[in-house]
């Protein structure tokens, strides 16, 4: 009897180990793309998401966790050896330090694998057995690179025509002045010349940079790598600019036009296509982050431009209609989130309103791109709260304020901050009707001071004695639930 018991327990162990290995082998992986323009909040988002998942708390709207079906969440080596690893530990250390700081900006693609051990929901349990594994591969990549994908469909001539027309739009013309002057002096038929190529690319890049600054906050800016080069900066594939098409016979091979067209094509072949094939085409789910408050603050032109960028982005996710999509057999993205980040710059009474505004911009973009094929949702969130809330009195009025410590060097009117002083600001109210918020009249008014102040991250508190601090967030769990909740059902 004893022998039998021993035998059977080791047999059971073997069996359990075999099941483990099988589960590991067949553990599905979900690739989640996290993108957005520089400073939109990707690094902070991923760090907070992973930290909150691993701590297993403070995510009440993430159903698998709320239902207590997640047994364990841990980091594992990522599947792609050639992609830098996302520096989760470094970023977390900064955010949870005694003197917390925002992590440094990244200018590259990176990846992180998070593995979930979970119990399937009641429906699936009978079919699948007790415990399951799922890998979540989070891919952080610059939104600037995403906005390049539509270029795959354009010839040099088409892209030039579009770019030059855009630079001449009244909202962009002031920023484009120098560039347009350079263009006026440049003839497509002139002999090719490396110095002209370099100088033109530089002036064109300066124009794109001006468009990106807070004051303008434009989103449609190509070529994206001119702003976010990754590791290819300075190569000839990056040294080109749009040109006015010469009429009449095709310009000769040694013309500036031919040189620029060749480089544009190299940029597509050596930069955009590999990104598409190696990264973009392998994603299952996507979240696009945008600093919507800054865009709204910059005014109607910036909002219109965000809408244009969002339709362009949606165009990239359309199945089967892009000729270049057929070149690679990709996975299909079936859920897309647009998220307005830094919602902690508003009082919580305004979070729904911010979400409604982004929802309306998304709706317009969907209509404009005639988009079908994936579910799209808009959320307003803060990955890491930098503010608290308070009420101020002004006469008989009670003003809902946010309270935080502006970063050293930030200014509000004539006041400069030292990074220590706490400030309560009434950030203003967004209109209840999102259509009103997007009306030119309202956007013209220039609403809130709070958005022009960046806050230091707060000192994060631990939930229990001796535990490590938890990053507090706003509505991160709701976005997460839509992005991956169903994959853990």
Ligand X SMILES: Nc1nc2c(ncn2[C@@H]2O[C@H](COP(=O)(O)OP(=O)(O)O)[C@@H](O)[C@H]2O)c(=O)[nH]1
Least distance (Å) between residue 43 CB and Mg ion:
3
**Residue number with CB closer to ligand X (42 or 69):** 42
User: Peptide bond before 223: cis, by omega within 30 degrees of 0?
Assistant: yes
Least distance (Å) between residue 56 CB and ligand X:
21
Q: Which does 29 bind (CB under 5 to 8 A by kind): ligand X, Mg ion, none?
A: none
**Footprint of ligand X (CB under 6 A):** 36, 38-44, 102-103, 105-106, 341-342, 344-345, 382-384, 386, 454-455
Question: Using CA atoms, how far apart are residues 60 and 65, in angstroms rounded to an integer?
Answer: 7
CB 278 within 8 A of CB 31: no
106 binds Mg ion (CB under 5 A): yes
Least distance (Å) between residue 250 CB and Mg ion:
43
222 binds Mg ion (CB under 5 A): no
Least distance (Å) between residue 30 CB and ligand X:
21
Which of the stretches 6-14, 42-50, 311-319, 427-435 binds Mg ion when contact is defined by CB under 5 A? 42-50
CB 65 within 8 A of CB 58: no
**Residue number with CB closer to ligand X (143 or 434):** 143
Pick from 42, 132, 347, 456 the residue near Mg ion by CB under 5 A. 42
**Residue number with CB closer to ligand X (229 or 251):** 229
Q: Which does 478 bind (CB under 5 to 8 A by kind): ligand X, Mg ion, none?
A: none
325 binds Mg ion (CB under 5 A): no
Q: Which does 112 bind (CB under 5 to 8 A by kind): ligand X, Mg ion, none?
A: none
**Residue number with CB closer to Mg ion (46 or 164):** 46
**Residue number with CB closer to Mg ion (43 or 239):** 43
Least distance (Å) between residue 212 CB and ligand X:
12
Sign of CA dihedral 413, 348, 387, 46: negative
Least distance (Å) between residue 299 CB and ligand X:
21
**Residue number with CB closer to ligand X (39 or 368):** 39
Distances (CA, A) of 438 to 74, 301, 404, 452: 42, 10, 28, 19
β-pair partners for 29: 135
Q: Which does 488 bind (CB under 5 to 8 A by kind): ligand X, Mg ion, none?
A: none
Least distance (Å) between residue 160 CB and ligand X:
29
Q: Mind spelling out the 3-state secondary structure of the chain?
A: CHHHHHHHHHHHHHHHHHHHHHHHHHCCEEEEEEEECCCCCHHHHHHHHHHHHHHCCCCCCCHHHHCCCEEEEEEECCCCCCCCECCHHHHHHHHHCCCCCCCCCCCCCEEEEEEEEECCCHHHHHHHCCCEEEEEEEEECCHHHHCCHHHHHCCHHHHHHHHHHHHCCCCCHHHHHHHHHHHHCCCCCCECCHHHHHHHHHHHHHHHHHHHCCCCCCCCCCCHHHHCCCCCCCCHHHCCCCCCCCCCCCCCCCEHHHHHHHHHHHHHHHHHHHHHHHCHHHCCEEEEEECHHHHHHHCHHHHHHHHHHHHHHHHHHCCCCCHHHHHCCCCCCCEEEEEECCHHHCCHHHHHHHHHHHHHHHHHHHHHHCCCCCEEEEEECECCCCCEEEEEEECCEEEEEEEECECCCCEECCEECCCCCCEEECCCCCCCCHHHHCCHHHHHCCCCCHHHCCECCCCCCECCCCCCECCCCECHHHHHHHHHHHHHC
Least distance (Å) between residue 36 CB and Mg ion:
9
Which of the stretches 20-28, 104-112, 249-257, 259-267 binds Mg ion when contact is defined by CB under 5 A? 104-112
Q: ∠ CA(223), CA(315), CA(331), 5° rounding?
A: 100
**Residue number with CB closer to ligand X (68 or 408):** 408
Question: Using CA atoms, how far apart are residues 427 and 441, in angstroms rounded to an integer?
Answer: 19
Q: Which does 227 bind (CB under 5 to 8 A by kind): ligand X, Mg ion, none?
A: none
Which of the stretches 1-9, 39-47, 187-195, 260-268 binds Mg ion when contact is defined by CB under 5 A? 39-47
Q: Which does 102 bind (CB under 5 to 8 A by kind): Mg ion, ligand X, none?
A: ligand X
Q: Which does 384 bind (CB under 5 to 8 A by kind): Mg ion, ligand X, none?
A: ligand X
CB 212 within 8 A of CB 221: yes
C-alpha 485, offset from chain centre: 20
**Residue number with CB closer to Mg ion (457 or 485):** 457
Least distance (Å) between residue 42 CB and Mg ion:
4
Least distance (Å) between residue 159 CB and ligand X:
26
Least distance (Å) between residue 419 CB and ligand X:
13
**Residue number with CB closer to ligand X (283 or 384):** 384
Q: Which does 44 bind (CB under 5 to 8 A by kind): ligand X, Mg ion, none?
A: ligand X
Which of the stretches 41-49, 131-139, 173-181, 413-421 binds Mg ion when contact is defined by CB under 5 A? 41-49
Pick from 35, 40, 43, 341 the residue near Mg ion by CB under 5 A. 43
94 binds Mg ion (CB under 5 A): no
Show the site string, 240-259: x = touches Mg ion by CB under 5 A, - = not: --------------------
Q: Which residues bind Mg ion (CB under 5 A)?
A: 42-43, 106
């Amino acid at each position: 009897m004893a022998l039998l018991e021993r035998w059977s327990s080791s047999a059971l162990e073997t069996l359990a180990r075999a099941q483990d290995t099988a589960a590991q082998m067949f553990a599905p992986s979900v690739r989640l793309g996290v993108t957005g323009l520089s400073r939109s909040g990707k690094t902070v988002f991923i760090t907070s998401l992973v930290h909150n998942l691993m701590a297993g708390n403070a995510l009440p709207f993430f159903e698998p966790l709320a239902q207590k079906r997640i047994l364990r969440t841990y980091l594992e080596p990522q599947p792609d050896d050639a992609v830098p690893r996302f520096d989760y530990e470094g970023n977390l250390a900064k955010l949870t330090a005694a003197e917390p700081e925002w992590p440094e900006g990244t200018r590259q693609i990176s990846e992180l694998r998070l593995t979930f051990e979970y119990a399937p929901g009641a429906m699936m349990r009978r079919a699948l057995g007790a415990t399951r594994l799922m890998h979540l591969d989070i891919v952080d990549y610059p939104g600037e690179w995403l906005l390049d994908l539509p270029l795959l469909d354009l010839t040099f001539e088409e892209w030039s025509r579009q770019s030059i027309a855009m630079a001449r739009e009244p909202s962009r013309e002031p920023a484009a002045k120098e560039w347009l002057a350079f263009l006026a002096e440049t003839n497509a038929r002139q002999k090719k010349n490396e110095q002209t190529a370099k100088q033109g690319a530089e002036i064109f890049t300066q124009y794109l940079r001006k468009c990106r600054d807070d004051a303008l906050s434009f989103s449609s800016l190509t070529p994206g790598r001119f702003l976010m080069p990754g590791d290819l900066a300075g190569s000839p594939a990056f040294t080109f600019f749009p040109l006015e098409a010469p009429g009449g016979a095709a310009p000769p091979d040694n013309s500036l036009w031919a040189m620029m067209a060749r480089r544009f094509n190299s940029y597509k072949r050596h930069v955009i296509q590999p990104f598409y094939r190696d990264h973009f085409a392998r994603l299952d789910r996507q979240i696009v982050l945008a600093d919507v408050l800054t865009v709204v603050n910059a005014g109607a032109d910036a909002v219109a431009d965000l809408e244009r960028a969002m339709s362009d982005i949606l165009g990239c996710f359309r199945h089967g209609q892009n000729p270049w999509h057929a070149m690679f057999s990709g996975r299909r993205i079936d859920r897309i989130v647009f998220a307005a980040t830094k919602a902690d710059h508003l009082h919580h009474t305004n979070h729904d309103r911010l979400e409604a505004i982004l929802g309306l911009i998304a709706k317009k973009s969907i209509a404009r791109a005639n988009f079908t094929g994936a579910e799209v949702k808009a959320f307003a969130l803060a990955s890491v709260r930098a503010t608290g809330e308070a009420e101020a009195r002004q006469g008989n009025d009670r003003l809902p304020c946010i309270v935080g410590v502006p970063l050293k060097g930030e200014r509000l009117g004539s006041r400069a901050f030292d990074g220590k002083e706490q400030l309560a600001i009434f950030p203003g109210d967004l209109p209840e009707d999102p259509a009103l918020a997007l009306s030119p009249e309202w956007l013209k008014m220039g609403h809130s001071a709070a958005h022009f102040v960046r806050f230091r991250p707060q000192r994060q508190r631990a939930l229990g004695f001796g535990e490590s601090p938890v990053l507090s967030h706003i509505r991160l769990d709701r976005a997460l639930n839509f992005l991956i909740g169903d994959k853990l059902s």
